[in-house]
Structure 1
């Protein structure tokens, strides 16, 4: 079984190139990130080349974080900004050869938001052959986020209709909102593009909490790409990696 380190949380106290080297030293098979845009893409590319790790994915910009924004793609009347964020992510992904781009929809509701999200996702799918991911966020951590459930995500993917749009299945978010992780993984297998994990409910390392990761990860031994460790270490990242020996 292979694992990817999400550097939005793991070794987040280090510059991104240094975090990539730390992930390699810890035995990860790949890396992924949240918003790498403050780091020159060429520096990230150099670290990836030096370590041999692939970059699995990155997120589109959240927008104006100081104003509480958490994505733009479902916000009516923000299409220009949303597409600029998508284009920025595509350009960065091209330099670091990221396999996927997670398009963040933001806080919105209603039919106008749905139509806006669909239109912006179609723009993203047409603009790149890389995988476009959408991810439901749980209502506890992100109340008001437009995309909240895997059923909603499936309907949106069907509406977009592009061959390169997939679901980011985060066991943490699905666990907090829907539960029944193994059934949801099986039912959604045909549209899943990437899988992430963390403990429930504290989003810590997967060695405690409500989800039995020995069982969940054991059911994913045939998953073809690295599984994303996207958890909050709460301390030194290296001190939390005992789960890799247990599950790997």
Structure 2
């Protein structure tokens, strides 16, 4: 039986030449199965956002908390209150559009104080909702100074916090850059993975441009039990719509 892979359009990366709501419409027109947001939704009129989502019929996989100049602040010493407030605002939006997950960004920080605060903030966030709370390791090459760097660090944090709704956002580009072989890293943390994002490596363009081999990876993720959408968080090499031919390579795997 042919496997059916579902793809979610990340509006923080795709159709960036258009207003946010038009990106959702474009995702529907392009045949995506779902959408996922950065923090654009918090600046949108809730009624307008709900109308577009109802019109397109696209579910929302997840959204980010406020990103700001430091890419979040959950681990930034002294910013715990702001981090909590950011989460509550994101949660309000998530509940209004029934988003599956909320990504809590750590921010630029380091050291024991940052590590302790991050865990406390995540514990607070997980206690506010039954929805999935995600943390995403981001490679140093793309974001020097970001607190959460690799999947093993993320796995330790999940164990320390001990909340069942805290999961890892497994971005294949960042994992390949920081940890090497993607499947090996995935095997170590697969029970803790809440969402998978895809892009090529090393240029982070459309999947299939260079490494990794998604004709091998996507079935492997399915075989391991992952059945959610694959988030398309990549930098289009040209026009977003023209570049979407990459999906045809994986329709009939």
In structure 1, the partner of 2:31 is 27
In structure 2, the partner of 1:233 is 236
Secondary structure at the counterpart of residue 167 of structure 1: strand
Distance in 1 of aligned mates of 2:201 and 2:50: 33
Tell me how many residue pairs correspond in the alignment: 244
1:17 aligns with 2:21: yes
Distance in 2 of aligned mates of 1:95 and 1:61: 17
TM superposition score normalised by structure 2 = 0.93
- Out of 35, 44, 53, the position equivalent to 1:48 is 53
Secondary structure at the counterpart of residue 221 of structure 2: coil
Render the CA deviation track for 1:26-46: whole Å, top value 9, x for unaligned. Answer: 111000010122222222211
Q: Any gaps of 5 or more consecutive residues in structure 1?
A: none
Note the C-alpha offset of 1:235: 2.1
Secondary structure at the counterpart of residue 133 of structure 1: strand
In structure 1, the partner of 2:160 is 159
Render the CA deviation track for 1:193-239: whole Å, top value 9, x for unaligned. Answer: 00001111111001212311221123234521111010011321101
Aligned structure 1 segments of 4 or more residues deviating by more than 2 angstroms: 220-223
- Out of 56, 60, 63, the position equivalent to 2:65 is 60
Match runs of 1:143-182 below 5 Å: 143-182=144-183
Distance in 1 of aligned mates of 2:48 and 2:221: 33
Measured on the aligned residues, the alpha-carbon RMSD in Å equals 1.1
Secondary structure at the counterpart of residue 61 of structure 1: coil
Secondary structure at the counterpart of residue 195 of structure 2: strand
Q: Any gaps of 5 or more consecutive residues in structure 2?
A: none
Note the C-alpha offset of 1:127: 0.8
